[in-house]
Structure 1
Amino acid sequence: MFKPNFSLTLRHAAMALALGVACAGAASAQTLHVELNTASLASTGFLDLQFNPSQVPASFASATISHLSGFGDLSGVALIGDVQQHAAGFVFGNTTDYNDLFQGIAFGGKVSFDVTFAGLPDASPAALQSKFAVSLYGADGATALGNFNPQDGTLMSITWQPTAGAGMLSSDITDHAIAGVSAVPEPSAWAMLGAGLALVGVARRRKLSA
């Protein structure tokens, strides 16, 4: 008759908790993955990305986009304000009140990228936030597409709020059929997850050899 090993059960529970902590750390990562499904949109149009402070000057913050997919030929990309192109993507700063990337893309598939936020700490209750906004426009470059926010034409936005530490992120999606955002685990979170899985493997081997 099988007798439960309560010591091993408690160990498994502790490891499950460790895995939960790892996943929670991943959810609070400062890198997010943005995906746009343009299957419902016809022909071609424009992708508009902005990273603007609520007021200038604000505590410095940056938004770096990388792992670009579906962006097409970047030779004609238009950059305005504090936006720089580099080998892996683009870096937005918030040193001016309007920082914009405007790129022609082909609709009908998916457009995606990772965006990593960083900034100087600011513990003041009056710390100014900066907003990363995503919009799609038609072939005329002026007609906003999708179920956009009527105030600014955005499909989604991610807000960076300075704090005494690394800063906080919050997102707002107006059109869930087109826009989506998910957390990208930081390397430390992946390390924690790997360590937790290794502990589970060790416990299983000990159980089989007992």
Structure 2
Amino acid sequence: MPSSFVFPALRRGALALALMAAAGLASAQSMHVVLDTSGLGASSSGWLDLQFNPASVPAISASALVDHLNGFDAASAPQLNGDVQAQAGGAFLFGNSTDWNDLFHAVHLGGKVSFDVSFSGLPDPSPAAIPSLFSVSLYGADGVTQLGHTDANGSLLSLSWNPAASGAGQVGVAVVDAGVASVSPVPEPSAWLMLGAGLALLGVAKRRRA
């Protein structure tokens, strides 16, 4: 087969891999949350409030795992309410079995506070599936004064877990204060592998063409 046919096919294959990887990134069920507290003008210490609550109880079982914590005050004991359990390595597992599942944790203000949250849950075949809402709020050192521009519930951002009739559910994102809060998908390892393979193939095709 002439090389003029091989290289375009190689480039098309690499592009397909890259597009598949990008689709994987967009549909990831793990999200990376960053709170930039440098512009809040608050004291050096504050509180982060995380909640994972269903729209109504009972709801189809779902969970939210919070890990890779950065900016948290490890010397302070977290306050856990409802269906929240501390895990090995400083992670926390939220369930949605009650109507109020809350983690109140001391954090260091003045820089960036970040964590990953991974959602999972059972399929919900009902016509009106019950979502669960993961909300993020910041408070000052007194634990009462809300920081940033929040919604009516005091949230800087919220992530909704919406179960599907079959397979994985979907994550909805609502950022209230974009000056403080940001969120991005955490790619699955398979997506990284496909993206890397696609970029490598594009690099090989480019070098051979040159």
CA distance in 2, matches of 1:74, 1:182: 28
Q: Which residue of 1 aligns with 2:168?
A: 166
1:13-32 equivalences under 5 Å are 13-32=12-31
Which deviates more from structure 2 when the two are superposed, residues 8-17 or residues 160-169?
8-17
Distance 1:51 1:176 in 2: 21
Distance 2:169 2:92 in 1: 21
**Structure 2 length normalisation: TM-score?**
0.90
Q: Distance between the aligned counterparts of 1:201 and 1:182, measured in 2?
A: 27
Residue type of the alignment partner of 2:23:
A
Structure 1 match to 2:138: 136
Unaligned runs of 5+ in 1: none
- Confirm or deny that 1:175 pairs with 2:177: yes
> Identity, % of aligned pairs?
55
- Would you say how many aligned residue pairs link Structure 1 and Structure 2? 204
Distance 1:98 1:74 in 2: 25
- Aligned residue in 2 for 1:146: 148
1:46-57 → structure 2 map (5 Å cutoff):
46-57=47-58
Tell me if the contact between 1:74 and 1:103 (Cα under 8 Å) persists in the aligned partners: no
Tell me what 2:81 maps to.
80
Which ranges in structure 2 are unaligned for 5 or more consecutive residues? none
Whether contact under 8 Å (1:47, 1:103) holds in the other structure is yes
SS at the partner of 1:159? Answer: strand
The CA distance in 2 between the partners of 1:158 and 1:125, in whole Å, is 21
Deviation, 1:13, is: 3.1
- 1:102-121 → structure 2 map (5 Å cutoff): 102-121=104-123
Deviates more, 1:39-48 or 1:155-164: 39-48
- Tell me what 2:186 maps to: 184
Aligned partners of 2:76 and 2:105 also within 8 Å: no
Supply the RMSD in Å over aligned alpha carbons: 1.8
Distance in 2 (CA, whole Å) between partners of 1:184 and 1:190 is 10
Contact 2:17 2:197 (C-alpha < 8 Å) held by counterparts = no
